[in-house]
Chain A
């Protein structure tokens, strides 16, 4: 699986958009970008995924650059409940998750 690089932490004001970057310069053509988050003491939660097109769902938007070497997760109107560790992962769509290791992620703190 391609390696990802995320900033260790970032702050965001409540009500503002949170833009979380992820670099994945060695991504292969068949690898998707996945985002998960983990709120304190809870299990990780799937947010969104994409291959090359921008994606949006009820939780967030995912912007993938044209060369696919980086992406940005956008939380459009951050709330205090969005405080969590956010993980960016790249992997082929159909592979088992058996050999995947989650990285350290980005600790996002949303402040009032």
Chain B
């Protein structure tokens, strides 16, 4: 598809530890996004990037930071993980398809904070 790879796919960590999730894309798409998905809440945007070193906050950005030092990688960091950050995290890129801008998602990263 759009060559999106998320890593790690699964991680278990303890409260207070730092965690970094990586999203890698192979097609030089400008926009990249991080979402979290929890039961009863659907998909919620955490942060997004519109270019190298250009990022902005989403709906649920507290407790998260991001970095984009090169086009292909968008990193999501939990500086000090909490149990409330246990979730499935999806990375996405947006690209043109059939004349419109569409989102393409990665396979997800399941994070458990004990």
Q: Which residues of A contact B (CB under 8 A)?
A: 32, 34, 36, 41-46, 49, 57, 93-105
Contact = CB atoms under 8 A, between A and B. Distances in A.
B101 A93 contact: yes
Contacts of A103: 42
B100 A49 contact: yes
B104 interface: yes
A43 B97 contact: no
Question: Which interface class (under 10, 10 to 19, 20 to 34, 35 or more) fits B?
Answer: 20 to 34
Contact of A46 (B31, B58, B59, B102): B102
B27 interface: no
A-B complex: 4 closest residue pairs judged by Cβ atoms = A43-B105, A102-B43, A98-B48, A46-B102
Nearest to B44: A101
B18 to A, nearest CB: 25
B100 A44 contact: no
B59 A101 contact: yes
Contact of A98 (B58, B97, B98, B104): B58
Contact of A97 (B42, B44, B59, B103): B103
Q: Which of A41, A45, A97 has the most CB of B within 10 A?
A: A97
A46 B104 contact: yes
21 contacts: A32-B100, A43-B105, A43-B107, A43-B108, A44-B43, A44-B90, A44-B105, A46-B104, A93-B99, A93-B101, A94-B101, A96-B50, A97-B31, A97-B48, A97-B94, A97-B103, A98-B45, A98-B48, A98-B50, A98-B58, A101-B45
A100 B45 contact: yes
A13 B97 CA distance: 31
B68 to A, nearest CB: 13
Contacts of A97: 31, 33, 45, 48, 92, 94, 101, 103
B94 A104 contact: no
A36 B102 CA distance: 10
Contacts of A100: 45
B103 A36 contact: yes
Contacts of B33: 97-98
A48 B31 CA distance: 20
